[in-house]
Structure 1
Amino acid sequence: MSDPYSYYQPAQQPVAQPVAQPTERPKSLTYAVNGMWLGGLLSIASAIVALAVDTTEMKSLMVTELEKQPTYDPSVIDAQEMADVFVPIFQIGMAFFSLVALGLWIWMAVMNGKGRNWARITATVFGALSLASSLSSVANLAGNAALGGATMPMSAGSTVLAVIDPLLVIAILVLLWLRPSSAYFSAVGAARKQQRPGY
Structure 2
Amino acid sequence: MSDPYGYQPYPAAVATPTVPTERPKTLTYAVIGMWIGGLLNIVATILLFTMDTTEMKTLMVREMEKQPTYDPSVLDAREMADIFIPILQIGGAVLGLVALGLWIWMAVMNGKGRNWARIVATILGALSLAGSLSSVGNIAGNAALGGATMPMSAGNVVLSVLDPLLVIAILVLLWLRPSSAYFSAVGAARQRERSGYYAG
| TM-score, structure 1 as length reference | 0.90
Contact 1:23–1:187 (CA<8 Å) still a contact in 2? no
Structure 1 residue 23 displacement after superposition: 4.9
Question: What residue is the counterpart of 2:3 in the other structure?
Answer: none
Matches within 5 A, 1:22-171: 22-171=20-169
Structure 1 residue 20 displacement after superposition: 2.1
Structure 1 residue 15 displacement after superposition: 6.6
Contact 1:36–1:106 (CA<8 Å) still a contact in 2? yes
* Matched position secondary structure for 1:64: helix
Q: Deviations along 1:93-138, whole A, 9 cap, x unmatched?
A: 1122112111100000000000000000000000000000000000
Structure 1 residue 197 displacement after superposition: 4.3
Structure 1, gaps ≥5 residues long: 1-12
Contact 1:59–1:83 (CA<8 Å) still a contact in 2? yes
* Matched position secondary structure for 2:194: coil
* Matched position secondary structure for 1:166: helix
Question: What residue is the counterpart of 1:196 in the other structure?
Answer: 194
Structure 1 residue 49 displacement after superposition: 0.3
Give, as a single letter, the amino acid of the residue that structure 1 aligns with 2:158. V
Give, as a single letter, the amino acid of the residue that structure 1 aligns with 2:40. L
| TM-score, structure 2 as length reference | 0.90
Structure 2, gaps ≥5 residues long: 1-10
- Select 1:176's aligned residue among 153, 158, 174: 174
Give, as a single letter, the amino acid of the residue that structure 1 aligns with 2:141. G
* Matched position secondary structure for 1:196: helix
Q: Distance in 2 between matches of 1:93 and 1:133?
A: 17
Q: Distance in 1 between matches of 2:12 and 2:126?
A: 46
Structure 1 residue 14 displacement after superposition: 8.7
Structure 1 residue 59 displacement after superposition: 0.5
Identity %: 75
Matches within 5 A, 1:9-28: 16-28=14-26
Say what the alpha-carbon RMSD is for the aligned residues: 1.3
Q: Deviations along 1:24-70, whole A, 9 cap, x unmatched?
A: 21000000000000000001001100011111110011001100111
Q: Distance in 2 between matches of 1:196 and 1:14?
A: 20
Give, as a single letter, the amino acid of the residue that structure 2 aligns with 1:180. P
* Matched position secondary structure for 1:66: helix
Give, as a single letter, the amino acid of the residue that structure 2 aligns with 1:22. P
